[in-house]
Amino acid sequence: MTARARDLRPFVLACVVAVASVGMLWLAVVHGWLGPDVGRGDRFCEAARDGDVLQPANTFSNAGFVLAGLAIGWRAGHPRTTIAANPRLASAYGVVVVLLGPASAAMHATQSALGGHLDLLSMYLVAGFASAYAVTRVLGRGTAFFAVLFIAAVGVCEVVERVPGHVPMVDIAANLAFGLLLLVALAGEAVLWRRGGASRQVGWGFASAGALALAFAIWNLAKDGSSFCQPQSLVQGHAAWHLLCAVAAYCLYRLYASERVSGAA
């Protein structure tokens, strides 16, 4: 039997999205399209510099998401990849991860209100995807159910974002919604693992959860006012948060792609 060739379309799509989104971000930063600096990224320690990019370390570390999304796009073209019986979802996840990069960079580069919203929106997209995909598989439902659940998750986060006030540990309600969606995703993956019925390389799941846990610990240690915060340094804990979250996103995809239903070819 002749082996099927790698499908390059997911990788090409991820590349197109990466070039377009990064290019649009650069134009927006240079021309001030995202609005004035309102201090949106102040609490993430790094001091604002002179120039177009206000927080260089926290901005350029988001390249990790773009690279992770491109790697997912490349892996998504593998002929044995299965994800929700619909390989298009693998491509979609790669695009979502790519967009985390320029969306988060928009906030740190400009500290604008719109940049801050783009940052949160990208977080909702990836957490909404992970939670909706986990619940869909736990309940044995199809792609249409996933799409409805994904849209609902992002919509709920958009509403929660408008809740005022400080939330312990996570600062704002939007971060709490993001974290809860990730917990739903982790719980769903744990249920699937214990249930059996499909083989998967669970080490990727543990790697994803571990990277995310370490990232969250650093996120809390590296905030403004902490003894670990060095505003003038280019070595920033929040930049490490970005890189570790990119690793977590990639490892989560490898868990998805490793899943094989028992008895399937």
Secondary structure class of 222 (helix, strand, coil): coil
Secondary structure class of 6 (helix, strand, coil): coil
- Tens of pLDDT, residues 28-49: 999 999 999 999 988 899 999 9
Residue 11 neighbours by CB under 8 Å, 6+ apart: 70, 73, 74, 76, 77
Give the position of tokens 């080490």.
203
Task: Please give the mean pLDDT across all residues of the chain.
Answer: 90
- Tens of pLDDT, residues 169-223: 788 899 999 999 999 999 999 999 888 767 788 899 999 999 999 999 998 888 7
**pLDDT tier for residue 263 given thresholds of 50, 70 and 90:** very low
Give the position of tokens 């970005």.
242
Residue 85 pLDDT > 60 = no
pLDDT confidence of residue 1: 42
Residue 94 neighbours by CB under 8 Å, 6+ apart: 10, 13, 14, 69, 70, 72, 73, 76, 253
Residue 68 neighbours by CB under 8 Å, 6+ apart: 97, 246, 247, 249, 250
- Separation CA 54–CA 74 (nearest Å): 32
Tell me which amino acid residue 78 is.
H
pLDDT confidence of residue 244: 97
Between the alpha carbon of residue 34 and those of residues 109, 131, 242, 252, the distances in Å are 10, 30, 21, 31
- Tens of pLDDT, residues 107-131: 999 999 999 999 999 999 999 999 9
